[in-house]
């Protein structure tokens, strides 16, 4: 049986170890954010200055990303940071490191630091509901960006690209391209249950079927298979290798994101099928995808999901809220835009982060 003094001595021994561990974790996160700051010092667009009736110099904007291990997330982080600082405010950020528990802890830390607005890109639509309620109790408005969150959460608005409309534009383009020619479709998705991916997929399929009904009076939608890529190059490569073995007659690949299919291109090329398969993306406008659209015929189109514009809009809405605006729509979208060979050069920036 432990005595009271032995318990106290044990606590005295463990406390400095715990402090060291916490410091190591803090500096590890800070090092990751500093690496992003260095890597994002490119010719990317600078932030805009927005009108404000109040002095913003004492205000703090907090942003929590689900991860920084992707160009899109890095570009979004950079846009928010640049726009925040250009408007005279302090930027505080945290990285969820791809782990939902770490993201929850990171958001809680931003709340304790007393940010004046919290910008949150949730990894999971349900798991972050609790921290939004904590933020509201602390008087901190929450703005959901890029992804979605459960309606039960406490937030001002969601700021994202118009995933449904973008998907519809891409699907309509594909249906026009094929006309009455049969399509054997493989669908490359991000991960199961993701609300943004689901909306993009819905848009793609709606765009195809609506155009077919309009021009042919019937629907010929043959989706041979769906595969999950976990929003990664490696995942897309593995998924496409498996698809080409199981479904060698696939002649169309539709995808929820450029990143899902960029790895798949390697598998398609290795199989000698770049002349036989057409790729259509429902979202992103990643620079590598735009380059393929410009230079090849197998990457047909993608739709714009600009992390730069989403970041600017998020900071703008936070400033408007600080100035007293409360009548925000629950969803705020950037304008839908389809990128094809005809306009790709206009949107291609080889020096962009994303």
CA atoms of 93 and 299, how far apart (whole Å) = 36
> Tens-of-pLDDT digits for all 354 residues of the chain?
444 344 344 334 443 443 343 343 433 343 334 333 333 333 345 568 999 999 999 999 999 999 888 888 899 999 999 999 999 999 999 999 989 999 999 999 999 999 999 999 998 889 999 999 999 999 999 999 998 899 999 999 999 999 999 999 999 999 999 999 999 999 999 988 788 899 999 999 999 999 999 999 999 999 999 999 988 899 999 999 999 999 999 999 999 999 999 999 999 999 999 999 999 999 999 999 999 999 999 999 999 999 999 999 999 999 999 999 999 999 999 999 999 999 999 999 999 888
Six-digit token string for 180? 């009455």
Asked whether residue 21 is assigned to any structural domain, the reply reads no
Same domain, 94 and 195: no
**Verdict on whether the full-model pTM lies above 0.95:** no
> Domain limits at 59?
48-161+307-334
Tell me, yes or no, whether 172 and 254 share the same domain: yes
Residue 227's DSSP bridge partners are: 188
Specify the 3-state DSSP secondary structure of 309.
Answer: helix
Judge contact between 223 and 185, C-beta under 8 A: yes
pLDDT at site 98: 86
Whether 155 and 74 map to the same domain: the answer is yes
CB contact at 8 A, 282 and 254:
yes
Query: Is 157 in the same domain as 167?
Result: no
One domain for residues 137 and 229: no
**Does residue 263 share a domain with residue 231?**
yes
H or E element, residue 299: strand 299-303
What pLDDT, on the 0 to 100 scale, is given for residue 277?
A: 98
**Structural Rg of the chain based on CA atoms:** 23
| Same-domain status, 245 and 191 | yes
**CATH number where 147 lies:** 3.40.50.2300
- 142: its two tokens: 């929450």
Distance CA 197, CA 92 (A): 28
Number of domains in the chain: 2
Residue 47 is predicted with a pLDDT of: 64
- Specify whether 56 is located in the same domain as 112: yes
> Is 299 part of any domain?
yes
- pLDDT recorded at residue 231: 85
Residue 326 inside a domain? The answer is yes
- The answer as to whether 31 is a domain residue is no
Residue 56 resides in a domain: yes
The answer as to whether 353 is a domain residue is: no
Q: Are residues 278 and 204 in the same domain?
A: yes
- By DSSP bridging, strand 299-303 and strand 338-339 are antiparallel
DSSP string of 157-193, one letter each residue: EEEEE-HHHHHHHHHHHHHHHHTTS---EEEEESSTT
Per-residue confidence (pLDDT) for residue 26, from 0 to 100: 37
Parallel, antiparallel, or unpaired: how do β-strands 117-120 and 90-95 relate? unpaired
């Amino acid at each position: 049986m432990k005595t009271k003094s032995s318990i106290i001595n044990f606590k005295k021994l463990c406390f400095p170890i715990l402090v060291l561990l916490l410091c190591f974790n803090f500096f590890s996160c800070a090092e990751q954010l500093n690496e992003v700051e260095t890597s994002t010092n490119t010719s990317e667009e600078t932030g805009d200055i927005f009108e404000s009736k109040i002095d913003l110099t004492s205000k703090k904007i907090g942003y929590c990303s689900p991860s920084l291990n992707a160009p899109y997330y890095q570009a979004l982080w950079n846009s928010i940071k640049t726009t925040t600082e250009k408007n005279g405010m302090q930027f505080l950020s945290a990285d969820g490191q791809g782990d939902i528990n770490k993201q929850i802890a990171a958001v809680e830390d931003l709340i304790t630091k007393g940010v004046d607005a919290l910008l949150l890109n949730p990894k999971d639509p349900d798991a972050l509901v609790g921290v939004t309620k904590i933020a509201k109790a602390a008087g901190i408005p929450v703005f959901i960006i890029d992804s979605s969150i459960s309606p039960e959460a406490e937030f001002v608005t969601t700021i994202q690209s118009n995933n449904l409309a973008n998907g519809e534009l891409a699907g309509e383009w594909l249906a026009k391209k094929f006309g009455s020619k049969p399509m054997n479709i493989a669908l490359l998705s991000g991960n199961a249950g993701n609300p943004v991916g689901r909306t993009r997929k819905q848009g793609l399929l709606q765009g195809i079927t609506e155009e077919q009904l309009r021009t042919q009076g019937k629907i010929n939608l043959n989706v041979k298979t769906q595969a999950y890529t976990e929003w990664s190059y490696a995942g897309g490569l593995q998924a496409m290798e498996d698809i080409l073995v199981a479904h060698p007659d696939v002649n169309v690949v539709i995808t929820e994101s450029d990143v899902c299919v960029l790895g798949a291109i390697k598998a398609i090329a290795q199989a000698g099928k770049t002349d036989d398969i057409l790729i259509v993306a429902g979202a992103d406008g990643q620079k590598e995808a735009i380059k393929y659209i410009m230079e090849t015929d197998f990457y047909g189109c993608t739709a714009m999901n600009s992390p730069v514009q989403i970041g600017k809009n998020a900071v703008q809405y936070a400033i408007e809220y600080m100035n007293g605006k409360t009548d925000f729509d629950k969803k705020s979208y950037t304008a839908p835009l389809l990128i094809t060979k005809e306009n790709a050069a206009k949107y291609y920036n080889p020096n962009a982060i994303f």
